[in-house]
A and B are shown apart, each in its own frame.
Chain A
C-alpha cells in the first residue's frame, strides 16, 4: 500500500512552490527524517523530510517544476505494511468558501441598574482614597484568595496612602511589597490569578504599567478566549491614571483609551467615592481581568458614601450624575467634576445639561448615552486625555452610527491639547481641559 507525498505547505502563507531538486530516486529506501527533496518557497529553499519509512515508488513531479500547488501529489512511497496510509484531504478541499451569511452577534442583556439604597441609610462623607481602601479591606475579609501587591503598598502604607492600614490588618502574606519591577510583578499577579487567587496589583501610577502592558493584554486579557473559556485570569490592575500636577509628560497620561481598545479586559474609571468603592468591590469579585483607573487629583476629595454592609455596583453601567434636557455631556473620571462644574455655569445661562459618568469604559454603556442623546439631541464629550483615538472619538462614532437621526448638531470633543504634558505651570494649565472649555463647546452645539 503506497503513501502519497503531497507538495507541502512550508510557511503560513505558502500556496505554491518550485520542486527544486529530488535527493532520492525511485527505488530508494527511505526512513523517517531523510531529506527527500528541496523545495523553493517565496522566502527560502526548504528541505522536505520523509515522515514514514518505505521504498520510493513513483516520482510524479519532476525536479525543476515551478508553480506546484500545495497539496499536489509529488511522489508515492510504498509502505512496509504497518504504515497507515495518509487519508488527509488536500488544502483546497478543506477550506470552505467564506460564509455568505452574516454571523449573528449575541445580543447584550439589559444592563443592571444600581441597587437602590434603602431609605434611612446613613450617608457619611468619605474621600475616594478611603473608599478604595475600604473596598479592598472588605473584599479581603470576605475572600481569603484576595491579596494586594505592588510597590510600597505594605510598610510604606501606599505611595498615595490608598493601602493605608491593610498591612496591619492582613499581614505580610496578603499585603506584599514588591521590588520596582512592573513587568515582573504584573506577570506574577496574572500567573497567581491563573492559579486561582484574586490578586489586586497596584501600579504606583499607570504610567509605569506601560512596562507591564504585555502581561495586562497578552497574558491577562486574551487567556480566557485562547483557552476556549478554560483558563481564567481574575486579576485587578489598579492605580492612579491621567495627569497629576506638575510632574511632566512621562508621569501624566490617560491610558483609558489604550485599555478600552482591548477585548477581554474590563476597564473601569470611577469619579466619586461611592462609585470607587462599589466598583472596586465588583472588580475584585469579577472573574475577568479588570483595569481599574483612579485619579490622583481626586483621591483627597470627599463625597457622600452610603453606609452599607456590602456596597457593590454593577460593572458596565453609566450613571446620570445630573439630569438635563438641552444637551448631554459625557465624561468619566476627573472630567466628571469638570462637566458638573460646567453644567452649573450653563444652568445660570439657561442651558440644562445632562451629565453622564461612564464609570466603565469597557464594556461601554451605549444605551445610556443614546437614550440621553435621544432626549437632548446634542452631545459633548469631555475627556482628560488626548483627542486622537480617544474615548471621545469612540462615543462620537457611536452617535454617528446609532444616534444620527437624533443629532441636531455635530458631536464635539473637549480633550487635552494634543501635546505631551508640559511642566511649566501656565503651559500645563493651557494643555488640560477645564470647565470653561466644556461651556464653550456646549454653547456651540446649542448654537448659543
Chain B
C-alpha cells in the first residue's frame, strides 16, 4: 500500500497487485474472524447493545404516546454494528458521524441516555436544547458530530473531520456511517475520491440493512456488494457480518490499524437488519413478516451474545441484574424526558449565529 501514489503517471499497474491490495484487509479479517473478548468485555458489549435495544423500544413507545414527534428512526436490530465498531475507538480522540438513525451511535459512545431521550421529546434539557430532535444531535465533547438529516451529507463532512485529524496530527480517525441508501448519493464518491487522494484517516461504514426506506438493495443498486464500491478509488473494502458484535469488533481493529498507519481510508460494509420500519410511520409492507421474524429469532445480535455468555458460564443472576439495571436506566431517561420542561420561548432566537454583529 505504500505504493498507492506510484502509479499516478498513468502507467498500468498489474491486476494482481491491485487485487491483493484491495482484498488484503478482508484476508486479515478472515484469518481472525472474531474478537477474543474476555467475559467482562463481552458482558460490556451485551450491556451496551441491550441499552440501545431498550432505549429504542421506549422511544418507539413514547412516539406512540405522542411525546416524540416528527421522524424517529429506530436502530433496533443494528446494535452490534455501532457497539462493535465504536468499542475500538476512543471517545474524545476519534470522531464519529452518522445520518439520522443516530441514537445507537450516541449511546455506544457513552453519551447520557437522559439527554438523548430529552432531545427526542423536545425538552430544554435535551442535548441540542430541544432544537435538533431525533435526527440532529451532537456531542462535541465526545467528538460525536451528528446526527445529519440529509442522506449522504455526513460522508464528505466525515472526510472533513478526517482532514482535521490529519491537519492537526492528533492521531484521531473519523468513522463515518451511512446506509445502503445513502451509498447511492453522488457526494459519497466525491468524498471517496478526495479521502483516497489525500490519504485521510477515515473508515467509511456502510450499514447495509437491506432497505433504503422501502427499496430493497437489489432494486436500487447496480452493485449490491457495497464493500467493492471503493475499488475505483483504490480504497480497500471489507465485507463484515454486522449481526455478531465480536466479528464487528475484530473487523474494526483490522480497518483501524490500516487507517492509523497512514495508508488512507477503508470502506467497510456491515450486513445488518432493522426490525422496525424505516421510521415510525413506515408500515413496512415491502418485506414479509417471516423475513423479519427469521432475523429476530435466528440472527439477533443480543440473543447471540447472551447465549454465548451463558455458555461461558456467566450466571443467570448476573444477566438478570444487567437487564434490570438497564430497564431502570431507560425508565429514568424516559421519566426525565417526559418531565423536563420545554425550552423557554426566548430560546427561539438563540444560537442562530454565534457572534453578534
B123-138 CB contact bits vs A (8 Å, 1 = yes)? Answer: 0001111111000111
Task: For B348, list chain A residues within 8 Å (CB).
Answer: 103
Name the residue on B nearest A188 (C-beta): B160
Query: CB-nearest residue of chain A relative to B64?
Result: A8
1/0 per residue A116-148: CB within 8 Å of B? 000000000000000000000000000000010
A181 to B191, CA, bound (A): 9
Q: Given the known inter-chain contacts A147-B167, A190-B160, A227-B136, please indicate yes or no for A90 contacting B65, CB distance below 8 A.
A: yes
A66 to chain B, nearest CB (A): 18
A87–B335 CB distance below 8 A:
yes
Complex partner residue of B161 from A90, A195, A287, CB under 8 angstroms: A195
Interface size class of A (residues with CB under 8 A): 35 or more
**Which residues from 353 to 380 on chain A have a C-beta closer than 8 Å to any C-beta of chain B?**
360, 363
Cβ of A230 under 8 Å from chain B: yes
- Residues A387-412 near B (CB distance < 8 A): none
B334 and chain A: residue at smallest CB distance: A88
**Bound complex: CA A259 to CA B128 (Å):** 25
A108 within 8 A of B: yes
Known contacts A184-B193, A189-B160, A225-B131; decide if A71 and B66 are in contact (CB<8 Å).
Answer: yes
Q: Provide the B313-349 mask, 1 if CB < 8 A to any CB of A, else 0.
A: 0000000000010011001001100100010011011
Within 8 Å CB of B61, what residues of A? Answer: 51, 86, 88
Determine the residue in chain A with the shortest Cβ distance to B69.
A12
CB < 8 Å neighbour of A184 from B67, B127, B187: B187
Q: Which residues of A contact B285 (CB under 8 A)?
A: 44
CB contacts (< 8 Å) of B334 on chain A: these are: 88
Q: Which residue of B lies closest to A83 (CB)?
A: B327
- CB nearest neighbor in B for A285: B355
In the complex, are the beta carbons of B60 and A51 less than 8 A apart?
A: yes
Q: Separation in Å of the A59 CB from the closest CB of chain B?
A: 17
Q: Which has the most chain B C-beta neighbours within 10 Å: A96, A103, A189, A191?
A: A191
Q: Are A224 and B280 in contact (CB under 8 A)?
A: no
B356 — which chain A residues lie within 8 A by C-beta? Answer: 108-109
Q: In the complex, A224 Cα to B146 Cα: how many Å?
A: 12
Tell me, in angstroms, the Cα distance from A187 to B158 when the chains sit together.
Answer: 8
Which chain A residue lies CB-closest to B330? A84
Are A230 and B140 touching (Cβ within 8 A)?
yes
- Is B160 touching A193 in the complex (CB atoms < 8 A)? yes
Interface residues in A181-217 by Cβ distance below 8 A to B read: 181, 183-197, 199, 214-215
Interface flags for B282-294 (1: CB within 8 Å of A; 0: not) read 0111000100000
Interface: B163 (CB within 8 A): yes
Q: Which residues of A contact B197 (CB under 8 A)?
A: 179
Contact A9 B66 (CB under 8 A): yes
Whether A266 sits at the interface, judged by CB under 8 Å, is yes
Are B353's CB and A106's CB within 8 A? Answer: no
Do A32 and B160 touch (CB < 8 A)? Answer: no
Task: Find out whether the CB atom of A192 lies under 8 angstroms from the CB atom of B167.
Answer: yes
How many A-B pairs have beta carbons closer than 8 Å: the answer is 238
A360 touches B350 (CB 8 A): no
B residues near A286, Cβ cutoff 8 Å: 354-355
Contact A224 B159 (CB under 8 A): no
* A111 sits at the interface (CB 8 A): yes
Q: What is the chain B residue whose CB lies nearest that of A227?
A: B138
A190 to B97, CA, bound (A): 13
Q: Is the interface of A mostly helix, strand, loop or mixed?
A: loop
Chain A residues within 8 Å of B210, by CB = none
Partner of B140, one of A82, A106, A218, A231: A231
- Knowing A103-B348, A219-B157, A229-B354, say if A183 contacts B187 (CB, 8 Å): yes
A178 at the interface (CB under 8 A from B): yes
> What residues on A are CB-neighbors of B186 within 8 Å?
183
A187 in contact with B155 (CB, 8 Å): yes
User: Is A228 in contact with B351, judged by CB distance below 8 angstroms?
Assistant: yes
How far in angstroms is the closest Cβ of chain B from A2? 15
Pairwise interchain contact A89-B338, C-beta atoms closer than 8 A:
yes
Size of interface on B: residues with Cβ below 8 Å to A: 82
Could you tell me which residues of chain A, from 6 to 36, have a CB within 8 Å of some CB in chain B? Answer: 6, 8-12, 14, 32-33, 35
CB neighbours of A231 from chain B (8 A):
138, 140, 145-146
> Closest A-chain residue to B63, C-beta based?
A9
Alpha-carbon distance A318/B342, docked complex (angstroms): 38
Partner of A187, one of B64, B157, B168, B283: B157
Pair B357/A195 contact, Cβ less than 8 Å: no
Q: Whole-angstrom distance between the alpha carbons of A316 and B278 in the complex?
A: 44
The answer, yes or no, to whether B229 is at the interface (CB within 8 Å) is no
Q: For the complex, is A350 an interface residue (Cβ under 8 Å from B)?
A: no
Contact at A91–B65, with CB atoms within 8 Å?
A: yes
- Would you call B167 and A197 a contact (CB within 8 A)? yes
Contacts of B355 in A (CB 8 A): 286-288
B88 to chain A minimum Cβ distance, whole angstroms, is 20
- Picked from B327, B338, B357, the residue with its CB within 8 Å of the CB of A315 is B357
Question: Given the interface contacts A187-B153, A215-B153, A224-B353, does A6 sit within 8 Å of B191 by beta carbon?
Answer: no
- Determine if B304 is an interface residue (Cβ-Cβ < 8 Å): no
Kindly state whether residue B194 has any CB partner on chain A within 8 Å: yes
A349 within 8 A of B: no
Asked if B131 contacts A228 (CB within 8 A), the reply is yes
Taking CB atoms, residues of chain B closer than 8 Å to A186 are 156
CB contacts (< 8 Å) of A181 on chain B: these are 190, 193-194
A94, CB-defined interface residue at 8 Å? yes
Would you call A219 and B167 a contact (CB within 8 A)? Answer: no
The complex places the Cα of A122 from the Cα of B275 at a distance, in Å, of 71
Interface residue from A96, A108, A226 paired with B136 (Cβ < 8 Å): A226
- Give complex CA distance A49, B150 in Å: 29
Shortest CB-to-CB span from B66 to chain A, Å, is 3
Asked if A188 contacts B357 (CB within 8 A), the reply is no
Give chain A residues whose Cβ lies under 8 Å from the Cβ of B190.
179, 181, 183-185, 187
Give the docked Cα–Cα distance between A35 and B277 (Å).
Answer: 13
Q: Tell yes or no: A250 within 8 A of B by CB.
A: no
Q: Which residues of A contact B164 (CB under 8 A)?
A: 191-192, 195-197
- Mark each residue of chain A from 68 to 109: 1 if its CB lies under 8 Å from any CB of chain B, else 0: 001100000000001110111111001110010001111011
CA–CA, A224 and B350, complex, Å: 10
Chain A residues near B63 (CB, 8 Å)?
8-9
B66 touches A360 (CB 8 A): no
A49: chain B residues at CB < 8 Å are 60
Residue numbers of B with Cβ under 8 A of A are 57-58, 60-67, 69-71, 95, 97, 126-132, 136-140, 145-150, 153, 155-165, 167-168, 186-187, 190-191, 193-194, 197, 275, 280-281, 283-285, 289, 296, 324, 327-328, 331, 334-335, 338, 342, 345-346, 348-357
14 contacts between A and B (CB under 8 A): A6-B64, A8-B63, A8-B64, A82-B327, A91-B67, A187-B155, A187-B190, A188-B160, A189-B160, A192-B160, A195-B163, A197-B168, A227-B128, A288-B355
Q: A226-B147, A228-B132 are in contact. List 7 more A-B contacts (CB 8 A).
A: A12-B70, A99-B345, A184-B159, A187-B153, A219-B148, A227-B136, A230-B138
